[in-house]
Protein backbone atom coordinates (compact mmCIF):
# COMPACT_ATOMS: atom_id res chain seq x y z
CA UNK A 1 0.00 0.00 0.00
CA UNK A 2 1.03 3.62 -0.41
CA UNK A 3 2.47 5.43 2.62
CA UNK A 4 3.30 9.05 3.46
CA UNK A 5 6.99 10.01 3.29
CA UNK A 6 6.98 10.32 7.10
CA UNK A 7 7.11 6.50 7.14
CA UNK A 8 10.76 6.61 6.08
CA UNK A 9 12.15 10.17 5.91
CA UNK A 10 12.72 10.71 9.66
CA UNK A 11 14.74 7.48 9.76
CA UNK A 12 16.65 8.49 6.63
CA UNK A 13 17.75 11.77 8.20
CA UNK A 14 18.65 10.08 11.48
CA UNK A 15 20.65 7.27 9.89
CA UNK A 16 22.22 9.35 7.13
CA UNK A 17 20.72 8.01 3.93
CA UNK A 18 18.39 9.51 1.34
CA UNK A 19 15.28 8.11 -0.31
CA UNK A 20 15.00 8.62 -4.05
CA UNK A 21 12.08 10.24 -5.78
CA UNK A 22 11.89 8.68 -9.21
CA UNK A 23 9.49 10.24 -11.63
CA UNK A 24 6.73 8.13 -13.07
CA UNK A 25 6.29 8.97 -16.74
CA UNK A 26 4.51 5.90 -18.12
CA UNK A 27 3.97 2.18 -17.50
CA UNK A 28 7.58 1.26 -18.27
CA UNK A 29 8.91 3.79 -15.74
CA UNK A 30 6.45 2.53 -13.13
CA UNK A 31 7.49 -1.09 -13.59
CA UNK A 32 11.20 -0.32 -13.81
CA UNK A 33 11.25 1.71 -10.58
CA UNK A 34 9.23 -0.93 -8.70
CA UNK A 35 11.48 -3.74 -9.94
CA UNK A 36 14.62 -1.82 -8.93
CA UNK A 37 13.21 -1.23 -5.42
CA UNK A 38 12.27 -4.87 -5.04
CA UNK A 39 15.78 -6.01 -5.95
CA UNK A 40 17.43 -3.36 -3.76
CA UNK A 41 14.98 -3.70 -0.83
CA UNK A 42 14.69 0.07 -0.89
CA UNK A 43 11.84 2.43 0.00
CA UNK A 44 11.12 4.98 -2.73
CA UNK A 45 8.91 7.83 -3.84
CA UNK A 46 6.99 7.93 -7.10
CA UNK A 47 7.11 11.54 -8.27
CA UNK A 48 4.27 12.60 -10.55
CA UNK A 49 4.43 16.02 -12.19
CA UNK A 50 1.29 17.77 -13.39
CA UNK A 51 2.48 17.14 -16.95
CA UNK A 52 2.87 13.41 -16.30
CA UNK A 53 -0.58 13.40 -14.73
CA UNK A 54 -2.07 14.94 -17.85
CA UNK A 55 -0.23 12.39 -19.98
CA UNK A 56 -1.30 9.27 -18.05
CA UNK A 57 -4.55 10.38 -16.44
CA UNK A 58 -4.92 10.67 -12.67
CA UNK A 59 -6.77 7.38 -12.17
CA UNK A 60 -4.23 5.42 -14.20
CA UNK A 61 -1.44 6.94 -12.10
CA UNK A 62 -3.00 5.90 -8.80
CA UNK A 63 -3.96 2.42 -10.02
CA UNK A 64 -0.50 1.72 -11.47
CA UNK A 65 1.25 3.05 -8.34
CA UNK A 66 -0.82 0.83 -6.06
CA UNK A 67 -0.04 -2.28 -8.08
CA UNK A 68 3.63 -1.32 -8.32
CA UNK A 69 3.85 -0.84 -4.54
CA UNK A 70 2.31 -4.26 -3.93
CA UNK A 71 4.66 -5.78 -6.47
CA UNK A 72 7.75 -4.11 -4.97
CA UNK A 73 6.88 -5.09 -1.38
CA UNK A 74 8.60 -1.98 0.07
CA UNK A 75 7.27 1.31 1.50
CA UNK A 76 6.24 3.53 -1.42
CA UNK A 77 4.96 7.11 -1.37
CA UNK A 78 2.92 8.42 -4.30
CA UNK A 79 3.89 12.07 -4.40
CA UNK A 80 2.70 15.05 -6.44
CA UNK A 81 5.84 16.73 -7.80
CA UNK A 82 5.89 20.56 -8.02
CA UNK A 83 2.17 20.95 -7.30
CA UNK A 84 1.12 24.42 -8.41
CA UNK A 85 -2.01 24.99 -6.33
CA UNK A 86 -4.03 23.94 -3.30
CA UNK A 87 -6.68 22.61 -5.68
CA UNK A 88 -4.38 20.26 -7.57
CA UNK A 89 -2.95 18.95 -4.29
CA UNK A 90 -6.45 18.20 -2.98
CA UNK A 91 -7.44 16.53 -6.24
CA UNK A 92 -4.43 14.20 -5.93
CA UNK A 93 -5.13 13.43 -2.27
CA UNK A 94 -8.74 12.59 -3.07
CA UNK A 95 -7.58 10.28 -5.86
CA UNK A 96 -5.27 8.39 -3.49
CA UNK A 97 -1.88 10.14 -3.37
CA UNK A 98 -0.07 9.64 -0.05
CA UNK A 99 2.14 12.73 -0.37
CA UNK A 100 2.16 16.10 -2.12
CA UNK A 101 4.60 18.86 -2.91
CA UNK A 102 3.33 22.40 -2.96
CA UNK A 103 5.80 24.48 -4.94
CA UNK A 104 5.15 28.07 -3.93
CA UNK A 105 8.76 29.09 -4.61
CA UNK A 106 7.74 31.68 -7.21
CA UNK A 107 5.50 33.50 -4.71
CA UNK A 108 6.79 36.19 -2.36
CA UNK A 109 8.16 34.62 0.87
CA UNK A 110 5.21 35.36 3.17
CA UNK A 111 2.72 34.26 0.53
CA UNK A 112 4.62 31.00 0.01
CA UNK A 113 4.39 30.34 3.77
CA UNK A 114 0.68 31.16 3.88
CA UNK A 115 -0.22 28.95 0.90
CA UNK A 116 2.01 26.07 2.04
CA UNK A 117 0.42 26.16 5.50
CA UNK A 118 -3.03 25.69 3.95
CA UNK A 119 -1.85 22.60 2.08
CA UNK A 120 -0.12 21.21 5.20
CA UNK A 121 -3.25 21.67 7.31
CA UNK A 122 -5.50 19.85 4.85
CA UNK A 123 -2.97 17.13 4.00
CA UNK A 124 -1.89 16.34 7.56
CA UNK A 125 -5.55 16.03 8.59
CA UNK A 126 -5.79 12.97 6.35
CA UNK A 127 -2.30 11.54 6.98
CA UNK A 128 -0.70 12.83 3.79
CA UNK A 129 2.87 14.19 3.90
CA UNK A 130 3.90 17.53 2.39
CA UNK A 131 7.03 18.96 0.76
CA UNK A 132 7.55 22.70 0.45
CA UNK A 133 10.06 24.68 -1.61
CA UNK A 134 12.08 27.79 -1.09
CA UNK A 135 14.38 29.45 -3.61
CA UNK A 136 14.08 28.72 -7.30
CA UNK A 137 15.74 25.81 -9.03
CA UNK A 138 17.01 26.55 -12.53
CA UNK A 139 16.33 24.52 -15.67
CA UNK A 140 13.23 22.96 -17.17
CA UNK A 141 10.91 20.30 -15.85
CA UNK A 142 7.56 19.97 -17.60
CA UNK A 143 5.60 23.08 -16.62
CA UNK A 144 8.35 24.45 -14.36
CA UNK A 145 10.79 26.63 -16.29
CA UNK A 146 13.35 28.92 -14.73
CA UNK A 147 16.14 30.78 -16.53
CA UNK A 148 19.55 30.24 -14.94
CA UNK A 149 19.73 33.99 -14.37
CA UNK A 150 16.51 33.89 -12.33
CA UNK A 151 17.49 30.84 -10.30
CA UNK A 152 17.85 32.07 -6.73
CA UNK A 153 19.51 30.18 -3.90
CA UNK A 154 17.54 29.75 -0.70
CA UNK A 155 18.37 32.06 2.18
CA UNK A 156 19.14 29.85 5.23
CA UNK A 157 17.38 32.09 7.80
CA UNK A 158 14.28 32.21 5.62
CA UNK A 159 14.38 28.44 5.08
CA UNK A 160 14.50 27.82 8.83
CA UNK A 161 11.59 30.18 9.42
CA UNK A 162 9.67 28.63 6.54
CA UNK A 163 9.97 25.22 8.19
CA UNK A 164 9.12 26.48 11.68
CA UNK A 165 5.94 28.08 10.40
CA UNK A 166 4.76 25.44 7.92
CA UNK A 167 6.12 22.23 9.52
CA UNK A 168 6.48 20.59 6.12
CA UNK A 169 7.74 16.99 6.21
CA UNK A 170 10.43 17.64 3.61
CA UNK A 171 12.09 20.91 2.75
CA UNK A 172 13.24 21.58 -0.81
CA UNK A 173 15.73 24.43 -0.99
CA UNK A 174 17.59 25.73 -4.01
CA UNK A 175 21.28 25.00 -3.39
CA UNK A 176 22.72 25.12 -6.90
CA UNK A 177 21.34 22.07 -8.69
CA UNK A 178 19.19 22.44 -11.81
CA UNK A 179 16.42 20.47 -13.49
CA UNK A 180 17.47 18.60 -16.62
CA UNK A 181 21.02 17.76 -17.71
CA UNK A 182 23.88 20.09 -16.78
CA UNK A 183 25.96 22.02 -19.19
CA UNK A 184 28.79 22.16 -16.69
CA UNK A 185 29.25 20.78 -13.18
CA UNK A 186 26.76 22.00 -10.61
CA UNK A 187 28.22 24.01 -7.76
CA UNK A 188 26.33 22.82 -4.74
CA UNK A 189 26.22 25.14 -1.74
CA UNK A 190 26.91 22.60 1.00
CA UNK A 191 27.07 25.41 3.54
CA UNK A 192 23.40 26.22 2.93
CA UNK A 193 22.40 22.56 3.27
CA UNK A 194 24.28 22.32 6.56
CA UNK A 195 23.01 25.61 7.99
CA UNK A 196 19.38 24.72 7.35
CA UNK A 197 19.49 21.01 8.08
CA UNK A 198 21.04 21.41 11.51
CA UNK A 199 18.21 23.72 12.57
CA UNK A 200 15.12 21.86 11.33
CA UNK A 201 13.69 18.38 11.92
CA UNK A 202 12.69 17.70 8.31
CA UNK A 203 15.22 16.42 5.80
CA UNK A 204 16.35 18.62 2.93
CA UNK A 205 15.22 17.69 -0.58
CA UNK A 206 17.66 17.90 -3.46
CA UNK A 207 15.84 18.56 -6.74
CA UNK A 208 17.58 18.10 -10.07
CA UNK A 209 19.52 15.04 -8.88
CA UNK A 210 20.45 14.04 -12.44
CA UNK A 211 24.02 14.66 -13.46
CA UNK A 212 25.22 15.53 -9.97
CA UNK A 213 28.60 13.82 -9.31
CA UNK A 214 28.43 10.89 -6.87
CA UNK A 215 30.80 12.60 -4.45
CA UNK A 216 28.54 15.66 -4.20
CA UNK A 217 25.54 13.42 -3.59
CA UNK A 218 27.32 11.57 -0.77
CA UNK A 219 28.42 14.80 0.83
CA UNK A 220 24.90 16.29 0.62
CA UNK A 221 23.37 13.20 2.20
CA UNK A 222 25.92 13.37 5.00
CA UNK A 223 24.83 16.95 5.70
CA UNK A 224 21.10 16.21 5.93
CA UNK A 225 19.67 15.69 2.46
CA UNK A 226 17.10 12.91 2.93
CA UNK A 227 15.23 12.96 -0.38
CA UNK A 228 16.76 13.22 -3.85
CA UNK A 229 14.75 13.67 -7.05
CA UNK A 230 15.88 11.98 -10.25
CA UNK A 231 14.07 12.09 -13.55
CA UNK A 232 16.26 13.18 -16.45
CA UNK A 233 18.92 10.47 -15.99
CA UNK A 234 16.26 7.75 -16.20
CA UNK A 235 14.82 9.38 -19.31
CA UNK A 236 18.24 9.60 -20.94
CA UNK A 237 18.99 5.92 -20.18
CA UNK A 238 15.63 4.82 -21.61
CA UNK A 239 15.80 6.93 -24.74
CA UNK A 240 19.40 5.98 -25.45
CA UNK A 241 18.49 2.27 -25.36
CA UNK A 242 15.40 2.75 -27.53
CA UNK A 243 17.21 4.95 -30.05
CA UNK A 244 20.07 2.49 -30.44
CA UNK A 245 17.68 -0.40 -31.07
CA UNK A 246 15.61 1.54 -33.60
CA UNK A 247 18.73 2.80 -35.38
CA UNK A 248 20.13 -0.70 -35.66
CA UNK A 249 16.82 -2.35 -36.56
CA UNK A 250 14.81 -0.15 -38.92
CA UNK A 251 12.33 -3.02 -39.45
CA UNK A 252 11.46 -3.23 -35.73
CA UNK A 253 7.78 -2.36 -35.27
CA UNK A 254 6.62 -4.09 -32.07
CA UNK A 255 6.85 -1.43 -29.29
CA UNK A 256 7.51 -4.16 -26.72
CA UNK A 257 10.75 -5.00 -28.52
CA UNK A 258 12.22 -1.56 -27.86
CA UNK A 259 10.31 -0.43 -24.77
CA UNK A 260 11.33 -3.59 -22.91
CA UNK A 261 15.05 -2.77 -23.17
CA UNK A 262 14.19 0.89 -22.41
CA UNK A 263 12.53 -0.28 -19.21
CA UNK A 264 15.59 -2.38 -18.33
CA UNK A 265 17.82 0.68 -18.75
CA UNK A 266 15.64 2.71 -16.37
CA UNK A 267 15.78 -0.09 -13.81
CA UNK A 268 19.58 -0.18 -13.85
CA UNK A 269 19.77 3.61 -13.45
CA UNK A 270 17.39 3.56 -10.49
CA UNK A 271 19.23 0.68 -8.80
CA UNK A 272 22.53 2.58 -9.03
CA UNK A 273 20.92 5.66 -7.47
CA UNK A 274 19.42 3.64 -4.61
CA UNK A 275 22.87 2.27 -3.77
CA UNK A 276 24.45 5.70 -4.04
CA UNK A 277 21.77 7.26 -1.80
CA UNK A 278 22.25 4.49 0.78
CA UNK A 279 18.58 3.45 0.74
CA UNK A 280 19.28 -0.11 -0.46
CA UNK A 281 18.40 -2.63 2.22
CA UNK A 282 16.43 -0.04 4.25
CA UNK A 283 12.95 -1.31 3.39
O1 LIG B 1 11.25 17.24 -9.35
C2 LIG B 1 11.95 16.44 -10.03
C3 LIG B 1 13.38 16.52 -10.06
O4 LIG B 1 13.84 17.64 -9.44
C5 LIG B 1 14.08 15.93 -11.24
O6 LIG B 1 15.24 16.61 -11.69
O7 LIG B 1 15.20 15.74 -14.01
O8 LIG B 1 17.16 16.99 -13.12
O9 LIG B 1 16.66 14.69 -12.31
P10 LIG B 1 16.11 15.98 -12.85
ZN1 LIG C 1 12.12 19.30 -9.10
Domains in the chain: boundaries = 5-277
Share of the chain above pLDDT 70, in %: 98
* 141 has a pLDDT exceeding 80: no
Topology given in CATH for the domain delimited by 5-277: TIM Barrel (3.20.20)
Answer yes or no: 201 catalytic: no
Q: What are phi and psi of 245, to 5 degrees?
A: -60, -45
Question: What pTM, to 2 d.p., does this model score?
Answer: 0.96
Q: Which pLDDT tens digit goes with each residue over 222-277?
A: 999 999 999 999 999 999 999 999 999 999 999 999 999 999 999 999 999 999 99
**Position in ligand 1 atom list of the atom nearest CA 235:** 7
Q: Which pLDDT tens digit goes with each residue over 100-110?
A: 999 999 999 99
Residue 22 and residue 46 in contact, taking contact as beta carbons nearer than 8 Å: yes
**Position in ligand 1 atom list of the atom nearest CA 49:** 1
Other beta carbons within 10 angstroms of residue 167's beta carbon come to 17
Q: Is 210 in the pocket of ligand 1 (CB under 6 A)?
A: yes
Which of 49, 204, 230 should be mutated for ligand 1, with most atoms under 8 A from CB?
230
- Give the residue-averaged pLDDT of 180-202: 91
Share of the chain above pLDDT 90, in %: 90
Task: Tell me the C-alpha to C-alpha distance, in Å, between residue 198 and each of 14, 59, 177, 193, 214.
Answer: 12, 39, 20, 8, 22
Residue 140: closest CA among 235, 204, 217 = 235
- Give the residue-averaged pLDDT of 89-118: 98
Task: Find the Cα–Cα–Cα–Cα dihedral 197, 202, 203, 204, rounded to 10°.
Answer: -70
Amino acid sequence: SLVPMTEFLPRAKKEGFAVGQFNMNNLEFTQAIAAAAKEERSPFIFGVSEGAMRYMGLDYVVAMAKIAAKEAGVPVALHLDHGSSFEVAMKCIQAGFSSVMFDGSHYPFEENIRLTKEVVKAAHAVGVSVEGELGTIGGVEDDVQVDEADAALANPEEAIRFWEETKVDAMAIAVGTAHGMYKGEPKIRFDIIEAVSSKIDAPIVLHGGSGVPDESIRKSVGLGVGKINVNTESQVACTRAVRKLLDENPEMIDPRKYLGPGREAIKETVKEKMRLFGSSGKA
